[in-house]
Amino acid sequence: MRPIFLGLLMLVTLSGCARGALDIDCPSFETMRRDLPYSQLEREIHGLGAEQTAPAPEQAELTKRVENTLPSDYDPAHPEAPTPTPILLLLSGGGQWGAFGAGYLNELRLRSDLPEFTVITGVSTGGLQSLFISVATTEAFDGLLAAYDPVRESDVVDRNPAWQAAFRGSLAGLEPLRRRLENALCPDDRIDDPSRDCMLDGLRALKGRKTVLIGFVNAENGRFQYVDAVDLAQLPRREARTCLTGAALASAAMPVFFQQVRINGVAYYDGGVRSSVFEASVAHTAALVTERRAILDALYNRVWVDRDARLPIYVVRNGPTTVEPDPAISNQPGPLSAALRAESIVVNQLEVGSISALRIEHPRGPLLLVTADGWEEAGCVKPGGGVMFDKGFMNCLTRYGAQKARVPDPWISLSQLPLRGQEPPAPPDS
């Protein structure tokens, strides 16, 4: 009886150490978040009715949002030129692997090779990146690099030993990341002084110029939802900072790994668990906008030299596409070890599947990809011991990303798929 009593006493004592949720108060969040529209195929799978004669409200709203960020008129100096269409950047999750994407995109900027993206989406670490990349100033990119250069892991998360996850509710708390994000958006010594600029003002200035979507999963109803960071930035400064921080944290809140994030009492999960539908839906929306403009341009005899090239989609995979070997897992039969290993395998498959789904949704046209594959050959050493954010490893990934951006063809151009009745297209040169 004594061991049982002591065990129960320990559980009761440790339960008082439970971390609990990270609560964020953003009164405007419910009115600004949106459900990701179902595709026609998804509607059929879910049994939501026959083919619609008109777009669902969610699709119509997203289409209008993307369309409103593009110039509505053609260039009078070149009346024969087609009207502008979206240029998409899709940023994946990956935690500390986001250092790779940060180094890669910054190096492209320094070399004047970074496209002028009009639609940017991000989940998890990609959601954080989207805030900086959309602003696209030197100061914003400096902030992006700083975000992936912590002095110590505790600057990003409060990590506890893995064995404590059962009663703490997660492997790491997110309060340090919350403070880090708030400081990057607008430091406390500037937030109440409108005469002093901060990155938040750069986001606010993107209204009507860019769409910046951060995705997450509503834990209560299971729906993938998103907010437009540019819309959130229009709120009063303090509220905007809180709400943008909340959206980025919600998108990164991977269950078990990180502390639960609640906004106005509603729990949200890492958007990476459904990133494939997010990317495919946004790309589909951009295609709808592009098709509308193609019809209009045809009426005015504006020439599309290469119709397929009108919708370039760029994808940054913040991490490798292969699962790292783990020979030790066979001798670790515990539930937590099994859950963490399964999570790494499933997430990898989701990321690879999301890229494949994009090509199936858009069989033709430029689909350009970069990944962190090759990181080991670059000399980067990932630390063991459950470390989530290691300065040395992240610095190496940043350098490796920059190195990849310096090669003659830095993007992988994915093969196009043949359409019915057509010969298979030639594989890309790169």
Q: Which residues are catalytic?
A: 124, 270
Q: Provide CB contacts within 8 A for 316, sequence distance 6+.
A: 89, 90, 91, 92, 101, 104, 105, 126, 129, 370
Instruction: Give the β-pairing of 211-218 and 88-91.
Output: unpaired
State which H helix or E strand residue 267 sits in: strand 266-270
Output the CA torsion 89→93→98→103 (10° steps).
-20
**Residue 311 DSSP label:** S
- Among 428, 56, 91, 20, CA closest to 275: 91
**Residue 420, SS3?**
coil
* Cα–Cα distance measured from residue 414 to residue 430, given in angstroms and rounded to the nearest whole number: 9
Residue 245 vs residues 23, 72, 133, 175: alpha-carbon distances, Å: 11, 32, 16, 11
Name the token pair of 399: 């350098």
